[in-house]
Amino acid sequence: MPTWLLKDLSNVIVPIINSSFTQGTFLDAHKSAIVHPLLKKPKPSLDTADLISYWPICNRSFVSKILERIIDSRFTEHADLQRLLLAYRKHYSTEMALVKVHNDLISAVDEGSVVCI
């Protein structure tokens, strides 16, 4: 969607998104998606008759996509400020998460605490 159109429709979109947050609900019209199957990799070894050979590609409404991005950014910011997540953080790899868990375990053992994972 072009930015100018999104700005023009903001007086319609913003109340929908705000009501979703205040009421904890989302309009049923924006909960549906059109799903298209996409062949994973066009190889001769893939059986095109088998559903496992396809990725489900979902086309959702732009309002649901915008709401998803807003929720994601708000949750990520909250989780970062509160240090709620160890993994799945921006600029943090799985290796860094494992190193932190390992360090926390070693520190707890060194302090004489009982450790369980």
Over residues 54-83, the pLDDT tens digits come to 999 999 888 888 888 888 888 888 988 888
Residue 54: partners with Cβ closer than 8 Å, 6 or more residues away = 37, 38, 39, 40
What confidence category does residue 106 fall into, taking pLDDT thresholds of 50, 70 and 90?
A: very high
Is the domain of 66 the same as that of 105? no
On whether both 72 and 116 belong to a single domain, the answer is no
Domain count, the chain: 2
Under 8 Å between Cβ of 77 and 27: no
In this model, does residue 19 exceed pLDDT 80?
yes
Residue 113: CA count within 13 A, CB half-sphere = 9
Containing domain of residue 94, as a range?
A: 87-117
Same domain, 43 and 92: no
